[in-house]
Amino acid sequence: MIYAIVNIKDKQFKLIENKYVYVPHISVNVGEKILLNQVFLFSKEGKLFLGDPFLEKINVIIEIMEHIKGKKIFIFKKKRRKGYKVKNGFRPLFSKIKIVSFLEK
């Protein structure tokens, strides 16, 4: 099995070829392909390659499939015995990506 652990928007994701992953919103149009060059770890046929901090010779090509909103997250603040209550919330944005291929130089 071939997989890589990459950095996308300061979060680490394990990417497997031809699989879908939801990542924080990437500001690129749907259908476009992106080259990711911040690869921490790459595994191919049982061999591990570790970067220090990144691997220079490995890149990952991903395709943006769609942009979606996640479930609503509620933020509730309260101070005891003061009558202070505030309720807010938001829906985070995600991008669904498909891993197209791994490029080895």
Q: How far is residue 15's CA from residue 1's CA, in Å, rounded to a whole number?
A: 11
Q: How far is CA 93 from the centre of its chain?
A: 12
Domain ranges of the chain: 3-67+96-104
Residues 71-85 pLDDT 10s:
999 999 999 999 999
Give this prediction's pTM.
0.83
Of the candidates 29, 40, 17, the residue with the CA atom closest to the CA atom of residue 102: 17
Model confidence pLDDT, tens digit, residues 23-56: 999 999 999 999 999 999 999 999 999 999 999 9
User: Which structure tokens are listed for 9?
Assistant: 């928007």
